Amino acid sequence: MRRFAGQTVFVTGGNKGIGAGIAKRFAEEGAKVAIAAIDKDTPDTASKLADMTGTEVIGLVLDVTDGKAVQDAFGEAEARLGPLSISVQNAGVITIAKVENLTEREWDLNLDVNTKGVFLCCQEAIRRFRASGMKGRLINTASGQARQGFIYTPHYAASKFGVVGLTQSLAKELAREGITVNAICPGIIHTEMWDYNDRVWGKMLGQYGPGELMAEWVEGIPMGRAGTPAEVGALVAFLASADAAYITGQTINIDGGLIMS
C-alpha cells in the first residue's frame, strides 16, 4: 500500500525503537518523512531509511522541550518536504527510582520530554495545519503506564497520563476543523528502552538476570509475546489514514491484551 504518497509526516524520536518502526512504515507507504530526535546521528539514520525505502527522508536534530527549536524543525521539514499532513509525537524518556530517591531533575526530565514535548509539537503542527488548510492527523505516544501506574515510576506515569489528557482536550478543540488527535499506549515492545527497563527494574525488584524479568512479564501477556516497533507503526499508520477519519480523542492499547480497558 502507498496510502501516504505525497504526504509529509513528522515523527519525533523517529531514529530508534518505536519511532523507527513508525517512520519506516510511513516511508514504505510512500510518505515523505522528517525524523526528529535529539541524537546527533539522526541525519545518518534518516539517510539509511531513505536508501532502504526509496523515499524522501530527512533527519533533524531536535530537543522537543525547546519551543523555538520545535518551531524551527517543523519549518525546515515543510521547507524541504512540503506542507505537513501528519505529526507523530513519539519522543520519550524513562528513569526508574524509588520514591525517596527520585530527584526533581528526573521528575522534570520525564514531564518535560514526555508531556511538554508532546504539547509543543502538537501546538506547532496545529499552527501549520491551519495555515495550509490541512485536515491533519496528530498521534501521540502514551504508554501502558497511562492506564496503570507502576512501581518506581510515578513521574513517568504522570507524564503519560498527561499525554492522554492533552490528547482528549485537543481532540475536542480541533474536531470541527477535521483535525483528529489520538494516542497509543504501547505495552512491552522489543526496544532499547525495554532493555533498560528489564535491567534496572530487574535489579530493583529482586536481582533478576538480563532478560529474566522481561520474560516473566511477557508470560502475563495473553498473546504470550512482546510486541514489535513494526506492529506499533501499523497502528499509527491506520490512525493517520483516511480509514480513521471518524476516530478522534481515543487512546488505544497495543500490548497483546495485557491491559484490557
Residues designated as active site: 156
Q: Please list, residue by residue across 105-132, b when 16 or more beta carbons sit within 10 angstroms of its beta carbon and e when fewer do.
A: ebbebbbbbbbbbbbbbbebbbebbeee
Strand order in the sheet with 32-37: 57-61, 32-37, 8-12, 84-89, 137-141, 180-186, 251-254
Close Cβ partners of 221 (under 8 Å, ≥ 6 residues apart): 187, 188, 255, 256, 257, 258
Phi and psi, residue 227, nearest 5°: -90, 175
Q: Where are the beta strands (DSSP E) in the chain?
A: 8-12, 32-37, 57-61, 84-89, 137-141, 180-186, 251-254
Residue 31 C-alpha cell reads as 510518505
| CA distances in angstroms from 18 to 40, 47, 76, 168, 219, listed in the order given | 18, 18, 23, 22, 21
C-alpha–C-alpha distance, residues 64 and 119, integer Å: 9
